[in-house]
Structure 1
Amino acid sequence: MKTRITELLGIRYPIVQGGMMWVGRAELAAAVSNAGALGTITALTQPTPEALCNEIGRVRSMTDQPFAVNLTILPTIKPVPYDEYVQAVVESGVKIVETAGRNPEPYMPSFKAAGIQVIHKCTSVRHALKAEALGCDAVSVDGFECAGHPGEDDVPNLILLPAAAAKLRIPMIASGGIADARGMVAALALGADGINMGTRFMATREAPIHENVKRKLVEHDERNTALIFRTLNNTSRIFRNSVAERVLELEHKEGATFADLKPLVSGERGKRMYETGDTEDGTFPAGLAIGLIEDIPTCAELVNRMIAEARALVHGRLTALVDES
């Protein structure tokens, strides 16, 4: 299956695993890459730049296929030495980086000098065009359906993808609400060159999180996410549990500040939840794609199934629509 994304990144299938805090580790990234897609490790999951170098080495010990490193540049409770993380990526010889959050411009010279392909995550057409102007090689366009931070424009992919495709020259990856072959085919039809899946890859055998979290994704539907931080203009889509409900209550009834919410949404609580399986102990990102997750396959089973079903869909149902014989 050949698209501009497969050719740019050197992968067999136009599927990218999203960079997810505490989830994007070597085990998952290597399994995704070995399946013919693009695995991604999350830089800030590692406590130090040195630990990131070690994690990159672990991925290389598990796969000889391309993989990426995600670097999310956002305000954090604890200051992050972003320059040092960038240097660790460059010195490790990684050739694909996904940036997200703030403008990646300060780090572009280092990435480009090292021959690194840069994909920047965007939630609007204007941000995607800015990334293109900065020299990014591709963009990952996140619709309102996505987990994590979908921006403040609230535009779903049915509109956002063709709007972006009409103006971009560089390849575009569709992110948000995609969990199966139908979503992949639809995204490609809307102008994308590939797809990004985060929530769906959480519910795989190799995802390094507790089985209780994976089962929650299988058991619940598209109504079971919550949009927190709306009052702070920093919207985040997460799984709707008792902690999420409490955050919403504090925001909308009591006008809470981030300082008030911090004890509930801290990353350490989320990390602990992934480890212990107590899904009421913290918050975790989840997109509307949970409405399409019905099992917990291996990454290879998931990718192979999606490719087979996508081909069957294109050559079956869609071909029949235009068959004039």
Structure 2
Amino acid sequence: MPVKTRITELFGIEHPIVQGGMHFVGLAEMAAAVSNAGGLGIITGLTQPTPDALGKEIRRCREMTDKPFGVNLTFLPSINPPDYPGYIKAIIDNGVKIVETAGNNPQKYMADLKAAGVKVIHKCTSVRHSLKAEAVGCDAISVDGFECGGHPGEDDVPNFVLLPRAAEELKIPFVASGGVANGKQLAAALALGAEGINMGTRFIATKEAPVHDNVKQAIVDAT
């Protein structure tokens, strides 16, 4: 039976499983497959070289699924930063209602996203950052323990410690990100206070992932 939580209710999904925003993996095929299976598929925004390309990828994904899906957008300092306002506009103009933000504080874009009815889940590696994201109006948090790939922060705090602390402090729902690849780990995350999970590596081993088969087989064979 489906597991119902505030995350499934918030995003209109069947299972409390969010696909990780993986660079050059989170394309329309991957996002659509996850959403069709009852989770929340995520298109990785900055994998697309321009806002126009992101708009095309969103429309391509919508041809493959009528279920909710989102877009990941990572805000990182850069000498030549991406056209973040353009990416935000592409997300809004193409009717996406869920955005996963990561990196810097998304506050400067919250007004536009909220005005368009977009729900925002922000990735945080600490309780203090999670509370700040809650304060600026994010709807949910992805709490990233040290097990998480990508940018696990500098505090080196694993999920077994981080998740129950987040549950004690946050009022909005959060998902556990890092070290989750099966039902036992999903159950553990729920027991520690999360209301869903953010899973990346396991999805790399699927047929929809644009990754070499040798990499996929190595993930399957790993012990």
TM-score range normalised by the length of the shorter chain: over 0.9
Partner-residue secondary structure (3-state), 1:166: helix
| Gap regions ≥5 residues in structure 2 | none
Query: Could you give the per-residue CA deviations for residues 223-267 of structure 1, whole angstroms, max 9, x where no partner exists?
Result: xxxxxxxxxxxxxxxxxxxxxxxxxxxxxxxxxxxxxxxxxxxxx
Give the deviation of 1:220 after TM superposition: 3.6
In structure 2, what is the equivalent of residue 202 of structure 1? Answer: 204
In structure 2, what is the equivalent of residue 97 of structure 1? Answer: 99
Provide the alpha-carbon RMSD of the alignment. 1.0
Query: Could you give the per-residue CA deviations for residues 109-164 of structure 1, whole angstroms, max 9, x where no partner exists?
Result: 01000000000000000000000000000000000001111000000000100000
Deviates most, 198-207 or 31-40: 198-207
Q: 1:87 to 1:199 in 2, by over 3 A?
A: same
Runs of 4+ displaced beyond 6 Å: none
Query: Could you give the per-residue CA deviations for residues 153-201 of structure 1, whole angstroms, max 9, x where no partner exists?
Result: 0000001000001000000110000000010000000000110001111
2:99, 2:215 → 1: CA distance? 27
Partner-residue secondary structure (3-state), 1:8: helix
2:95, 2:126 → 1: CA distance? 31
Give the deviation of 1:77 after TM superposition: 6.3
| Higher Cα Rg, which structure | 1
In structure 2, what is the equivalent of residue 26 of structure 1? Answer: 28
In structure 2, what is the equivalent of residue 84 of structure 1? Answer: 86
Partner-residue secondary structure (3-state), 2:63: helix
In structure 1, what is the equivalent of residue 19 of structure 2? Answer: 17
2:113, 2:201 → 1: CA distance? 28
Partner-residue secondary structure (3-state), 1:119: strand
Query: Could you give the per-residue CA deviations for residues 35-54 of structure 1, whole angstroms, max 9, x where no partner exists?
Result: 00000000000010000000
TM-score by length of 1: 0.67
In structure 2, what is the equivalent of residue 188 of structure 1? Answer: 190
Partner-residue secondary structure (3-state), 2:166: helix
TM-score by length of 2: 0.97
Alignment counterpart, residue 215 of structure 2, candidates 213, 216, 224: 213
1:128-147 counterparts in 2 under 5 A?
Answer: 128-147=130-149
| Gap regions ≥5 residues in structure 1 | 222-325
**2:162 corresponds to 1:151:** no
In structure 2, what is the equivalent of residue 169 of structure 1? Answer: 171
| Matched residue type, 1:94 | V
1:212, 1:101 → 2: CA distance? 31
Q: 1:202 to 1:78 in 2, by over 3 A?
A: farther
1:1-325 counterparts in 2 under 5 A?
Answer: 1-76=3-78, 78-221=80-223
Give the deviation of 1:78 after TM superposition: 4.4
